[in-house]
A and B are shown apart, each in its own frame.
Chain A
Amino acid sequence: MSTDERIDYTLKINGKPYKVENAFYSENLLHVLRYRLGLTGTKYGCEHGQCGACTVHIDGKAVCSCMELAACAVGCEITTIEGYNNQDGTLNRLQESFVKHAALQCGYCTPGFIMSAAKFIEENPNCTEDQVREGMDGNLCRCTGYNRIIEAIKEAAEVRK
């Protein structure tokens, strides 16, 4: 690729501006977050919208950062797992619930699950277990299995009520 294919832009991530310089126009947001900005909490999974490990919030919607052109997210509010933690670094209610239920083993899928679940609970505050199962259809876990994750999300949703 020639040099004139590169562009500069500023992304607003977790409330702060991040300058991205000399980036290929075709780079996806996941790549920019991890390898240009060092925000490695967002995980690299399947890169085609199957696993949900790369889930972030853009303008209040949970989306896969792997299928988002980073430059097209200019002007949007982006929240990653780093920005979803409490400001003082402690765990929030949903994260505590994951710990309590041992809803993780290797932990690779967890940031994606947390980001998806956070939006799901927000949009469906009185959810049933079936709704949680359907609502979390965009995230895959290959070690723990899903029951503990569903239980953790269900409990976090109940506490919210």
Chain B
Amino acid sequence: MIIQSPFLAVVESINEALDTKQKRPSSRFISGGTEVIADQNLGLLEPEGYISLRRIKELHTIEPKSDGLYIGAGVVVAQLLDDKAMAQVILLKKAARAFGTRQVRNRATVGGNIASGLPDRTLLPCLLALEATVHLQSAKGKRSLPIKDFLIEPGKTAISKDEILTGTTVPYVKGFQEYYMVGPRNAQFFVTACLALVVDEANKNVRLGLGNAGPTAMRAKEAEEYANNAIDWKKQTVDETIAIKFGEIAAENCSPVSDAAASAAYRRHAIKVMSKRILLRAFERKQ
């Protein structure tokens, strides 16, 4: 333990973090601080103490494993851009480039982005499309669950108060992967709307994750189903009419909100257009 005061603890291991949390249940885990301290500065958050997880070395690993690439919760987004192992999950590398500013990427962690559970976060639609698994740990033990079961409602996830998010395992998928976003500015840390497409060549299906198109990040199941049947997998081609329909179905079946950044109609339109473009892009090289 580097600092131990009634309201701030800088811990060096997961066990220390869990012990401290048990003693001070109302305190909040913090790592990069790009969300928590920003909220505190804006007066949205009245902290009752912080437990800083940044010095926990075991949370900082990126490790290729047999079932996928393991990414520790404390890995910062800049590492997603730089680490060689990320070549195996190209989608996250692409999304990382569109993630916040350089300064934010040096601090914002993968774990923080997942645990926020907010619909406008960059990595969640990507992890949904990749069918990643999230790993949690408490004093009672460890558990893992699919990212789709982890996201419950805006800002609410399956993580319980005595649990810590330790990392995520992202399966290797062979095929096209791409991330598109619209936002007020490239370097905005929230998106107006975004989507991630994964083409699974082995299983002959496409998976589309949508961000800020509903109460949580979500999969566009109806559009996926349509595309899986409509795509000519033998020739590996997609007609423009199929791509247009794919976009329309994705837009019809999402439920975006209207807020200060954009209206629901704008978001729906953005999803429609981006879905069409991303599907055409996915199959254009093979034509």
Contact = CB atoms under 8 A, between A and B. Distances in A.
Contacts of B7: 5, 25-26
Contacts of A62: 102-103, 106
A11 interface: no
B187 A48 contact: no
A69 B37 contact: yes
B33 A71 contact: no
Given A63-B107, A66-B37, A69-B33, A135 B102 contact: yes
Interface residues of A, number: 34
A102 interface: no
Contact of A69 (B50, B78, B186, B188): B50
Given A26-B40, A49-B38, A71 B107 contact: no
B10 interface: yes
B275 interface: no
Nearest to A72: B52
Interface residues of B, number: 33
A12 interface: no
Nearest to B8: A25
B2 A47 contact: no
Contacts of B101: 49-50, 52, 64, 137-139
Given A69-B50, A74-B3, A61 B106 contact: yes
Contact of B104 (A9, A47, A64): A64
A28 interface: yes
A26 B50 contact: yes
Contacts of B219: none
A78 B8 CA distance: 20
Interface string B84-123: 0000000000000000111110110000000000000000
A68 B8 contact: no
B54 A137 contact: no
Nearest to A67: B37
Select the residue from B7, B33, B49, B101 with max chain A CB neighbours within 10 A: B101
A72 B106 contact: no
Interface core residue of B7, B50, B52, B189 (most chain A CB under 10 Å)? B7
B42 A48 contact: yes
Nearest to A60: B106
B34 interface: yes
Nearest to A135: B102
A68 B47 contact: no
B5 interface: yes
Interface string A21-51: 0000110100000000000000000011110
Q: Which 6 A-B pairs have the closest CB atoms?
A: A138-B101, A137-B187, A48-B38, A25-B8, A47-B41, A67-B37
Given A64-B34, A139-B101, 19 more contacts: A25-B7, A25-B8, A26-B40, A26-B47, A47-B41, A48-B38, A49-B38, A49-B104, A61-B107, A63-B106, A66-B37, A67-B32, A67-B34, A72-B3, A72-B30, A74-B10, A116-B103, A136-B102, A137-B101
Interface of B: 2-3, 5-8, 10, 30, 32-34, 37-38, 40-42, 47, 49-50, 52, 54, 78, 100-104, 106-107, 186-189
21 contacts: A25-B49, A25-B50, A26-B50, A47-B41, A49-B100, A61-B78, A62-B102, A63-B103, A64-B104, A66-B41, A67-B33, A69-B8, A71-B8, A71-B10, A72-B52, A74-B10, A75-B2, A119-B102, A135-B102, A137-B186, A138-B104
